[in-house]
């Protein structure tokens, strides 16, 4: 990773919406599409596939969108 990215916790996530950040967290749930090359779907305003629920270091639950180019 060549870009400089800030480290954040759950309380600071709203300041960085849509930006790449580093988040110290524990993965609690992963949702992936049936086929690995399938892009995420948006149904009723919810992203389905390529997302994960994580618990941040301050205990906040956060839904993150996973990049297809990166691993957990």
Examine the pLDDT at 8 and tell me if it is beyond 90. Answer: yes
In whole angstroms, give the CA distance from residue 6 to residue 46: 26
Would strands 7-8 and 22-23 be described as parallel, antiparallel, or unpaired? parallel
Domain boundaries, the chain: 25-72
Bridge partners for 65 per DSSP:
51
Residues 6 or more apart in contact with residue 49 via CB below 8 angstroms: 31, 32, 33, 38, 39, 40, 41
Q: How much is the pTM?
A: 0.62
Q: Give the three-class secondary structure for 23.
A: strand
11-39 tens-digit pLDDT: 998 898 888 889 899 989 887 665 555 56
Examine the pLDDT at 46 and tell me if it is beyond 60. Answer: no
């Amino acid at each position: 990773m060549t870009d400089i990215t800030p480290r954040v916790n759950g309380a600071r996530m709203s300041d960085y919406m849509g930006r790449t950040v580093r988040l110290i967290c524990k993965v609690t749930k992963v949702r992936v599409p049936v086929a690995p090359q399938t892009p995420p779907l948006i149904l009723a305003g919810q992203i389905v596939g390529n997302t994960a629920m994580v618990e941040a270091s301050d205990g906040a639950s956060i839904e993150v969108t996973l990049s297809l180019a990166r691993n957990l």
